[in-house]
Amino acid sequence: MDTKFAAELPGGPPPRTRRARWPIALAGLALGAFVISSGRRVASDTAVCPQESPLVPEKNGALWTELTALHATDEFLMRAVGQLSAAVQIPTETFDAMGPVGEDERWVSRGSFVEHLATAFPLVHATLELQKVNTYGLIYTWQGSDASLKPLMLMGHYDVVPVAPLSADQWTHPAYSGHFDGTFVWGRGSSDDKSGVIGILTSIEVLLEKKFAPTRTVVLSFGFDEEAGGYHGAGHLGPVLLERFGPDSFAIIVDEGAGYSENYGAIFAAPGIAEKGSVNVNVEVQTPGGHSSVPPEHTSIGMLAAMIVHLERNAPKAVLEVGTPAFQMAQCIGAHGPAMQPALKRAILHAGKSKKALQKAEALLLQDPMYKAMVGTTLAVDIVSGGVKSNALPEQALAVVNHRIATQSSVKATTSRDAELLMDLAAQFNLSVTAYGELLTAVGASAYGTLELSAPQTLEPAPITPSDTPAFRLLAGTIRTAFQTARKDAQETIFVTPGMMTGNTDTRFNWALSQHIFRYGHGNMISGGLGGIHTVNEHILAASFVEMITFFTTLILNVDESAL
């Protein structure tokens, strides 16, 4: 998956020994034991960020009890581990700039994986309708008995980032071994995201073994190139789903995302209700060439360097705005985190009604670079090129400026801002300016050269999923149920807060399908439960994988009997 972390809030005490390897910016205080029930709010000292009670299926309560008891057995753990291990052993690497399916032979690895699924999950393939899109994209449909109910969609991707050849010998266990050491399953894809795909399919296979037949249709959508943007996989699956089901046709969509983590002594889950947008702005300067022994005052590279410095010095300012997902997270942490720095706690809890408190909260929160990056639009100059020979004046110089766009901003606001920032420098260097296909200034015959800005690929920030809805409350209650079910210690609890993504998932292709899209993987990110994502020694805690199956099982049953 693309980077999907929230930042850790500043101002708290030193962390406890147990803490997440991924910095989900969460803090809080456990409120003590609670009893599993349905539909009640957990008592809180504040009205900010109230917590849902754990939500247990009622109509299918006996089945849920039977299944969770099954999940707790050693036999089931070994079954689940075997399924994940076998999936990890099939390399499905995605590289940048892969050609179309059918032309680039590197896609062929997906065929083995798809064939394996048919063997590994016989009841799923005997019962659910399978539609293959662009050869390797998979849509499974588990038809419900009531066609009037909007379906549930569960998403995932089965491709993985490549294993760098130079790092192969750094793995504790070979990258595609799927080795189980009694505690962890090791290998590329064990966390990202074959655990999600295999977890969903295992949940449904077991439900089918128990003769469960859904009232509400369940749709599975599995992409095969999320690690390169999803354009060949989910990019084809999304339009097919839209044509088949229509706009706003799904009750809930759940895709991969960060799991739960311990911060400031409490455990938080942060389902992503938003994703930042992105755009790469190409800044290209073209000037006359010539021999370097007779240089102009500024070469194209020198001009571009001045523009880069100017852009970085005037990077977009991060602003904490009331109502944004980042603000909601901070308030939730403040509401349930008495260990938070008192000044910050007071400021963030009053920020919704006091401009002065909001400014104070912003000043304190934005001291943390990761939280600052989550709140605002970022600017990073990632690629620079220009010149071909040391004694030849460069005729062209190019920089690629990557922006991750704040949820409250837009592609147009971001690209227009870059153009406006560079206009004065372009005039100073006597350059004509073309920005995104539009000629802005034409210096004419006297122009020394040109400045061209382009943005070939853009992505707007995702529509924000509301968190004050039955859909979010159902998800939150399901998360709390799955968490507690996996633990015998009733004193350990979990808080659920709206979260957001700094990167992007395959849900970008499904925005039209639902107003309730969540990015959440119920994974234990405590004590190394997940690790090595996109690097060496990727692994997952076997018990965490089983808990993930419990989560998907509970979610399917809860949604099936809900009034969504």
Mean pLDDT of all residues belonging to the chain: 90
What mean pLDDT do residues 92-102 have? Answer: 96
29, pLDDT greater than 50: no
Annotation-wise, does 129 bind a ligand?
A: no
**High-pLDDT (> 70) share of the chain, %:** 90
Confidence of residue 23 (pLDDT cuts 50, 70, 90): very low
Q: Where in the chain is the domain with CATH 3.30.70.360?
A: 277-316+377-460
**Residue 40: Cβ within 10 Å count:** 13
What is the dihedral sign for C-alpha 184, 190, 192, 198? negative
CATH of domain 72-257+505-560: 3.40.630.10
pLDDT at 536: 83
**Residue 315: Cβ within 10 Å count:** 15
472, pLDDT greater than 80: yes
43, pLDDT greater than 80: no
Catalytic site residue 284?
no
Digit-coded pLDDT (tens) for 176-200? 999 999 999 999 999 999 999 999 9
> What architecture does CATH give domain 277-316+377-460?
2-Layer Sandwich (3.30)
pLDDT at 528: 58
DSSP state of 463: P
2, pLDDT greater than 90: no
pLDDT at 173: 95
Q: Which of 281, 285, 252, 256 is nearest to 271 (CA)?
A: 256
Least confident of 59-63, 142-146, 173-177, 528-532: 528-532
Annotation-wise, does 255 bind a ligand?
A: yes
What mean pLDDT do residues 119-126 have? Answer: 98
Residue predicted with more confidence, 32 or 306: 306
Confidence of residue 339 (pLDDT cuts 50, 70, 90): confident
pLDDT at 24: 35
Catalytic site residue 146?
no
Confidence of residue 175 (pLDDT cuts 50, 70, 90): very high
524, pLDDT greater than 90: no
Q: Do residues 253 and 520 lie in contact, with contact meaning Cβ atoms separated by under 8 Å?
A: no
457 by Cβ neighbours in 10 Å (0-12 / 13-18 / 19+) ranks as exposed
- Which residues make beta-bridge pairs with 157? 223
Tokens matching residue 10 = 């500043």
**High-pLDDT (> 90) share of the chain, %:** 80
What mean pLDDT do residues 479-505 have? Answer: 88
Annotation-wise, does 539 bind a ligand?
A: no
pLDDT at 236: 98
Digit-coded pLDDT (tens) for 198-210? 999 999 999 999 9
Percent helix, strand, coil in the chain (nearest 5)?
35, 20, 45
What mean pLDDT do residues 305-331 have? Answer: 96
E-assigned strands of 143-294?
152-157, 184-186, 218-223, 252-255, 260-263, 266-269, 272-275, 277-286
501, pLDDT greater than 90: no
Confidence of residue 46 (pLDDT cuts 50, 70, 90): low
Annotation-wise, does 157 bind a ligand?
A: yes
15, pLDDT greater than 90: no
Digit-coded pLDDT (tens) for 263-276? 767 888 999 999 99
Annotation-wise, does 362 bind a ligand?
A: no
Confidence of residue 11 (pLDDT cuts 50, 70, 90): very low
Least confident of 134-143, 454-463, 525-534: 525-534
34, pLDDT greater than 50: no
What mean pLDDT do residues 140-167 have? Answer: 96
Least confident of 29-38, 488-497, 522-531: 29-38
pLDDT at 489: 66
What is the amino acid identity at position 182? Answer: G
- Catalytic residue from among 226, 368, 418, 538: 226
Q: Where in the chain is the domain with CATH 3.40.630.10?
A: 72-257+505-560
- Catalytic residue from among 8, 52, 159, 452: 159
Looking only at the bridges linking them, the beta strands covering 152-157 and 396-405 are: unpaired
Digit-coded pLDDT (tens) for 355-393? 999 999 999 999 999 899 999 999 999 999 999 999 999
Looking only at the bridges linking them, the beta strands covering 137-142 and 152-157 are: unpaired
What mean pLDDT do residues 496-517 have? Answer: 94
